[in-house]
Amino acid sequence: AAGVIQSPRHLIKEKRETATLKCYPIPRHDTVYWYQQGPGQDPQFLISFYEKMQSDKGSIPDRFSAQQFSDYHSELNMSSLELGDSALYFCASSSLRDRQMNTEAFFGQGTRLTVV
């Protein structure tokens, strides 16, 4: 079965650079969620999109932005990177529209971002 695809899997950036993370949800899923998991930490919700509109916002820094495109994939853009942004970034998808589907969130493998 198709899963949530994230790219790249690993990314190394220098301080003050920008990074773009991509997420391709499970087919027919209309909702995408982004999480940040720092070293030894639990995942923290950043932001979510439903049908290409921002649906909820968590502890996402102002330096970060995200969007969901017409094909439902999503991108997380991170600017002015700081050392503290080094983390594992997860994307998850679910279907809110189709209640016949399992509505729990399915997570991708994550993108490990290292800021040096």
Partner 1 sequence: AQSVTQLGSHVSVSEGALVLLRCNYSSSVPPYLFWYVQYPNQGLQLLLKYTSAATLVKGINGFEAEFKKSETSFHLTKPSAHMSDAAEYFCAVSDSASYGKLTFGQGTILTVHP
- Number of shown-chain residues binding partner 1 (CB under 8 A): 25
- Contact of 33 with 110, CB cutoff 8 Å: no
CA distances to 13, 30, 97, 103, 116 from 52, rounded to whole Å, are 28, 8, 13, 18, 33
Q: Quick check: bond before 61 cis, omega within 30?
A: no
Map the footprint of partner 1 across residues 44-73, applying CB under 8 A.
44-45, 48, 55-56, 58
CB of 83 to partner 1, least distance (A): 20
CB atoms within 10 A of CB 38: 13
Which of 12/16 has CB closer to partner 1? Answer: 12
Note whether 74 binds partner 1 by CB under 8 A: no
Give the interface with partner 1 as residue ranges (CB under 8 A). 4, 31, 33, 42-45, 48, 55-56, 58, 90, 92-94, 96, 103-110, 112
